[in-house]
Amino acid sequence: MLTSTRELLETARRHIYAIGAFNVYNLEGVRAVVLAAEACSSPAMLQMHPSSFKFGGSPLVSLCLEAARTASVPISVHLDHSTAAEAIQFALAAGMNSVMADGSHLPYAENLEFTRQMTQLAHQYGAIVEAEIGRISGTEDGLSVAEKEAKMTDPAEAKAFVAATQVDTLAVTIGNVHGEYKSEPRLDFERLIKIRQNLGEDTLLVLHGASGLPAEMISRSIQLGVCKFNVNTEVRQAYMTMLKSERCAASDADLIPCMEDSIAAMQQVVMDKMQLFGSAQKAHLHQTPYAALLTSALRRPA
């Protein structure tokens, strides 16, 4: 069921678990996430990084939307880390449920203005927006942020930023990184507590760079209000490792069995994350799109 990102995240936060948002590039990735979600009876998000969004274009967007629509569990479709207003406009017009308007590379005032405009636009489509203040370091799909450019989220700045932009979800930087952790991950939970206190219940918190984070950090983050984790590296690595396996790399290899093996390898990683995030066996807690529409109609003043 194609479901709104707001519904997925609000329900997860209310019941104290988190939704996995998995970066996908192609049919195998999409299928791995949907099969994992169905096998675990879990909600999930399919998300596209700008490079896969650009590469796959509208056929990839349609694939994600159709896979979500025909899945037996709630799934939303999200554009990750977009710095471009045109891409965001395209995603919203195509029917994607949420976008990340990433102005974290901009000076604060420009990030604020970009996020404010994109939030206004997205709300017209009934979609929600994720923003980032502070800056997450690491490397992902050709986007690289050096460690010295990384900046932790300032809790006071976060409060002013959310009030001014009306953004729905905030990606926090508390020591998390994209890609592999080069040393033992260390998350600044005191900072997360202050961010939560400053923002209150209305803003949904997101943690990027969930690949490689130990279980206790995941569950502490959830207890402190994180309701979405982004996962890319571990799933991508499972895919790449399978492509290099004897069966797939053989000169007479057939493509379909290799695709099936890749899907199975990625599906296992995604299922493990769903267990870790507490979203497994939670699909029933989510409203179907029809029930969500009815609830919002009932809430609307006459």
Of 139 and 166, CB closest to ligand 13P: 139
Per CB under 6 A, does 230 bind ligand 13P? yes
Q: Which residue has the tokens 């029933």?
A: 284
What secondary structure does DSSP assign to 37-93, as a single string?
HHHHT--EEEEE-HHHHHHHHHHHHHHHHHHHHH-SS-EEEEEEEE--HHHHHHHHH
Residues 148 and 128: their CA atoms lie apart, in Å, by 31
Residue 112's closest CA among 102, 121, 122?
102
* Residue 208 CB, nearest approach to ligand 13P (Å): 3
Per CB under 6 A, does 287 bind ligand 13P? no
Provide the pairing of β-strand 226-231 with 204-207. Answer: parallel
* Residue 241 CB, nearest approach to ligand 13P (Å): 15
Options 82, 153, 211, 279; binder of ligand 13P; rule CB under 6 A: 211
Residue 42's closest CA among 78, 3, 96, 99?
3
Only one of the segments 60-68, 125-133, 230-238, 242-250 lies at the binding site for ligand 13P (rule: CB under 6 A); that segment is 230-238
Options 210, 227, 276, 283; binder of ligand 13P; rule CB under 6 A: 210
Per CB under 6 A, does 78 bind ligand 13P? no
Q: Strand runs (DSSP E) across the chain, as ranges?
A: 19-23, 44-48, 75-82, 98-101, 128-132, 138-140, 143-145, 169-172, 204-207, 226-231
N- to C-terminal Cα separation, the chain:
29
- Using an 8 Å Cβ cutoff, are 207 and 226 in contact? yes
Options 231, 263, 276, 283; binder of ligand 13P; rule CB under 6 A: 231
Only one of the segments 6-14, 82-90, 225-233, 280-288 lies at the binding site for ligand 13P (rule: CB under 6 A); that segment is 225-233
Per CB under 6 A, does 119 bind ligand 13P? no
Per CB under 6 A, does 209 bind ligand 13P? yes
Options 4, 23, 115, 153; binder of ligand 13P; rule CB under 6 A: 23
Residues 74 and 86: their CA atoms lie apart, in Å, by 28
What phi and psi, each to the nearest 5 degrees, are found at residue 170?
-125, 130
Only one of the segments 120-128, 229-237, 268-276, 291-299 lies at the binding site for ligand 13P (rule: CB under 6 A); that segment is 229-237
Is 254 noted as a catalytic residue in this protein?
Answer: no
Per CB under 6 A, does 179 bind ligand 13P? yes
Only one of the segments 59-67, 146-154, 197-205, 231-239 lies at the binding site for ligand 13P (rule: CB under 6 A); that segment is 231-239
Provide the pairing of β-strand 226-231 with 19-23. Answer: parallel
Residue 32's closest CA among 2, 61, 75, 1?
75
Per CB under 6 A, does 178 bind ligand 13P? yes
Options 13, 81, 228, 286; binder of ligand 13P; rule CB under 6 A: 81
Of 6 and 208, CB closest to ligand 13P: 208
Of 165 and 233, CB closest to ligand 13P: 233
Residues 238 and 23: their CA atoms lie apart, in Å, by 13
Residue ranges binding ligand 13P (CB under 6 A): 23, 80-81, 140, 178-179, 208-211, 230-233
